[in-house]
Structure 1
């Protein structure tokens, strides 16, 4: 029997399956959606995509605080936010590489662009693909700054949301048991 503070295996499995499905769906869309070269529209899509990452993140924070299982919901939030962020930049790198062939040290396939985005995010360094153009370097710096914010600020915000969700859950449990809320 599972205690109220620990979700059952079934709930954990469901969260794992949903997180995997979200990530798989985003990666599939990245590889299947048509992408052309950089245009004013693609720059607007990048800005809208970054705003979408922020909206998804803050919506997930709100959901975590109201969840019966805030820790698991935080894992699911990361499974939506981090891949969305990485795939957004991978798309931008791919489009830039197609429009400006000298932007990177070699032509980028979608896999190469995703590899470059993940290499930048994980800060393991470069050795094979590097940004050579000013636009490529600016885009890479934006990803670096965004990645630091995503890891640093997002981790703090998610931890706070988990704590708020746990406090709210304890308050509901006290109410259900007939206890008084402070």
Structure 2
């Protein structure tokens, strides 16, 4: 092949992206549950294995994120971005709610913070947890803006995928576009050309294509009649 063609994504790539996403979810969940944040988390200072687990999940999370953003498809990258932003916002909301009482109403645990983040991202807030202070409302406003940007990016990527599929369906047949097949076709046309040669010859020389009337031919054994001349010698 003279030019390298872009092949569609194989099922193995999709399986790899799915495994990376599952690993990302596990790493994010472990990091979210173990990373020490609030000063009154008594278990965070006592359990060294909890801190070690948080460090390990951080390293795993970093590796999975780097791998996804380097090798995964755009939709999986957007999904990874959504999950990361959700966890980071939930951790930030939990820290603000515990260190600055009065900013959020109804947040007491990390699950409450994650619940509030997800309901805010999906615009399905129930009002049981809401922002009260100015800092809390700034965080919520950031989540709203991220939602708008994220939905726009997803829409652009879906349009790009649809356009790519349309271009692939309208692409010419590679068999007919192959120069080797084209040369074979020309050779077959040249081999079939002698059959049409008399017709072309007749069109080019009409006098050569005039047929002799069988009635005007002399009988067998008699000489053919000579054409009449006017006696002028050339």
- TM-score, normalized by the shorter chain, greater than 0.5: yes
Larger radius of gyration: 2
What is the CA RMSD across the aligned residues, in angstroms?
A: 3.3
Which of 28, 46, 49 is the aligned partner of 1:26? 28
CA shift in 2, pair 1:98/1:158, >3 Å: same
- Displacement of 1:157 in angstroms is 4.5
Higher relative contact order (Cα pairs below 8 Å, separated by 6+ residues): 1
Determine the C-alpha separation between the residues in 1 that align with 2:76 and 2:178.
32
Mapping of 1:1-182 within 5 angstroms? 5=8, 7-8=10-11, 10-36=12-38, 60=69, 73-151=73-151, 153-159=152-158, 162=161
Contact 1:101 1:107 in 2 (8 A): no
Give SS of 2:129's match: coil
Q: Distance in 1 between matches of 2:164 and 2:30?
A: 32
Count of residues in Structure 1 that have an aligned counterpart in Structure 2: 141
Q: Deviations over 1:146-179 (max 9, x none)?
A: 122112x321443466579877xxx9xx7xx967
Instruction: Pick the structure with more helix per residue.
Output: 1
SS in 2 for 1:84: helix
Structure 1 residue 131, shift from structure 2 partner = 1.0
